[in-house]
Amino acid sequence: MKTLDAVIAESPVFAGLTQEQLEFIVGCAQNVHFDAGQTIAKAGDNADVFYLIRMGEVALDLDVPNKKSVRIDTVEAGQVLGWSWLIPPHEWKYDVTATELVRAIAFDGECLRGKCDSDPVLGYALLTRFSQVLVGRLQATRFRLLDIYGTDTH
Amino acid sequence: MAQTLTETAGTLEAMMPVPYAVTAKRQDTYDTWTLELEPVDGAPIVPGPGQFNMLYAFGVGEVPISNAGNFETDERLVHTIRAVGAVTKALCAAEIGTIVGVRGPFGNTWPIKEAKGKDVVIVAGGIGLPPLRPAIYHVLKNREDYGRFVLLYGARTPSDLVFLDEVKSWQSNYDVDLDITVDAGDTDWKGKVGLVTKLIPPAQFDADDARAFIVGPEIMMKFVAQELMNRDLPAAAINVSMERTMRCGVGLCGHCQIGPTLVCRDGACYTWDEVENLIAVKEL
Ligand SMILES: Cc1cc2nc3c(=O)[nH]c(=O)nc-3n(C[C@H](O)[C@H](O)[C@H](O)COP(=O)(O)OP(=O)(O)OC[C@H]3O[C@@H](n4cnc5c(N)ncnc54)[C@H](O)[C@@H]3O)c2cc1C
Ligand code: FES
């Protein structure tokens, strides 16, 4: 099994960081797992953590008043879960549940934010990378508004 | 150029609807039905994967509908139709025993035989799956002739996924890498949520030696083609099926023209490099 350092260094979201920056990030990381059906976070919870999913799948659900909750996205192995740790008010926006056994690396957002404040170079590097995660989510939402399956008949 | 008498006779024949009876009918989603058709007289027509027929709801009108049958084992015509307007609503309302007119088969075929020895990537959006079904059955029947077989299927909601049990049986009975996602799930949906494009980066295929086949709305095909090209699959290795309003189906009326091409005659199957610039979708 790969070490934490190796998995983090190989993840596209941390690609291009210096050895020193990676070492610091590894210092804020730990392996975690969630059983199928386990709640990882509830909407409104304090978001002082983000995850790199190594195995399994996580669902993001939104409660719609008077309706069943809507599953708006799933995050699979290799993807990053969570950006709210970086942007105030640091709150989860959705209910987050493991749909199957999930193995992930959890990053302590508070520890990373502190480091970003004192090391603007690392701060900029992480902001750039997480902006990409955010832009990806934004694009997916826009595509969904376009209803890409509904415009033609087949 | 003037037509010969034989050509004229052929064209006239192609314009004459042949009566077919609806012999089976199934509701797939709230607005989509699958009809099976058999000729009232004589032998059925034999379409190829990717071809379409003009279906005539008598007294209402005629529309192009892709062939969705399993030509490897079955001669019945199978058409999956979404009720969107007068003609498709009339066809979807046809009961068993109703007679409809059939002209065809028209258009070219998917170059599925040319993909022999290569990995095959099929990407379907919504009711884009049925037009790919004949090509899928060809690969399944000749599974050992092809490399990896990746089937990626996306729809708006779980209830918009058609032929789902059959699709899952392909995964369990053949060596098919199946991945499914919906735009919006509900709490009963156990699978992935998100656009079909998200299934492409993790898909296992050799971009140097693969062919992709996409059917769905044009905007979906555009995003999927872009994502496949991000995986270094050349545009010429990506096949799509185009939809345009049709009247004659045989290259006479010009209704189905896009740029220099007539979809009924030169398509409906094209490679992405042939149509990329003809699909006008403004950037988001
Ligand atoms: C080669 C080809 C294969 C096709 N295969 C299938 C199939 O397998 N199953 C199926 O359900 N449909 C298929 N279609 C689309 C089908 O032909 C149209 O839905 C049909 O012509 C609509 O006719 P209508 O009289 O019911 O509706 P209309 O009254 O003509 O149209 C109703 C609404 O649908 C829109 N519309 C009509 N045709 C199209 C189209 N081609 N693309 C986008 N929007 C359209 C119209 O703008 C209008 O808003 C195919 C089309 C082509 C060209
Ligand atoms: S439908 Fe008449 S030319 Fe294509």
**3-class secondary structure for B236-251?**
HHEEEECCCCCCCCCC
Q: B 6-65 residues with CB below 8 A of A?
A: none
Rg (CA), chain B: 19
Measured CA to CA in angstroms, residue A148 lies from B195, B198, B212, B216, B243 at distances of 9, 14, 19, 9, 15
Give chain A's domains with CATH numbers.
4-142 (2.60.120.10)
B18: domain CATH number is 2.40.30.10
- Looking at the fold, whether B264 and B126 belong to one and the same domain comes out as yes
Query: Is B31 in the same domain as B121?
Result: no
Largest CA distance in chain A: 55
Candidates B198, B224, B209; CA nearest to B124 is B224
Radius of gyration of chain A (CA): 16
- Residue B1 in any domain: the answer is no
* Alpha-helical regions (H) of chain A: 4-10, 19-27, 109-118, 120-146
SS3 A52: strand
Closest CA to B66 of B41, B99, B44, B88: B88
> Which of B52, B76, B106 is the last residue in one of the domains?
B106
Whether B212 and B87 map to the same domain: the answer is no
Q: How far is the CA of B275 from the centre of ligand 1 (A)?
A: 19
Which residues form the domain of B23? 6-106
- In tens digits, what is the pLDDT along chain B, a chain of 284 residues? 566 766 666 677 778 899 999 999 999 999 999 999 999 998 889 999 999 999 999 999 999 999 999 888 888 999 999 999 999 999 999 999 999 999 989 999 999 999 999 999 999 998 999 999 999 999 999 999 999 999 999 999 898 999 999 999 988 887 899 999 998 877 778 889 988 999 999 999 999 999 999 999 988 999 999 999 999 999 999 999 998 889 999 998 999 999 899 999 998 999 999 999 887 644 43
Boundary residue ending a domain (B106, B132, B158): B106
Do B152 and B255 fall into the same domain? yes
Q: Does residue B284 fall inside a structural domain?
A: no
Q: Is residue B114 classed as helix, strand or coil in its secondary structure?
A: helix
**CA B212 – CA B192 distance, rounded (Å):** 22
Residue B179 in contact with residue B192, Cβ under 8 Å? yes
- Give domain status of residue B156, yes or no: yes
B64 and B180 part of one domain: no
Query: Domain for residue B20, yes or no?
Result: yes
Shared domain check, B130 and B49: no
Residue B282 pLDDT: 46
Residues B55 and B96 in one domain: yes
Q: Which of A153, A149, A23, A7 is nearest to A80 (CA)?
A: A7
Say if residue B14 is in the same domain as residue B128.
no
Residue with tokens 């086949």: B213
For residues B193 and B182, give the distance between their C-alpha atoms in angstroms, rounded to a whole number.
5
Interface test with A, best of B159, B183, B215, B222 (most A CBs within 10 A): B183
Regarding whether B82 and B176 lie in a shared domain, the answer is: no
Identify whether B151 is part of a domain.
Answer: yes
Q: Which residues of B touch A150 (CB under 8 A)?
A: 126, 156, 217
The whole-model pTM stands at 0.86
User: Is B250 within a domain?
Assistant: yes
Q: Which residues of B touch A148 (CB under 8 A)?
A: 125, 195, 216-217, 219-220, 223
Residues A145, B87: Cα–Cα separation, whole Å: 28
Q: For ligand 2, what atom is nearest to the CA of residue B246?
A: 1
Same domain, B209 and B224: yes
Of B63, B79, B106, which residue constitutes the final position of a domain? Answer: B106
Residues B145 and B218 in one domain: yes
How many domains does chain B divide into? 2
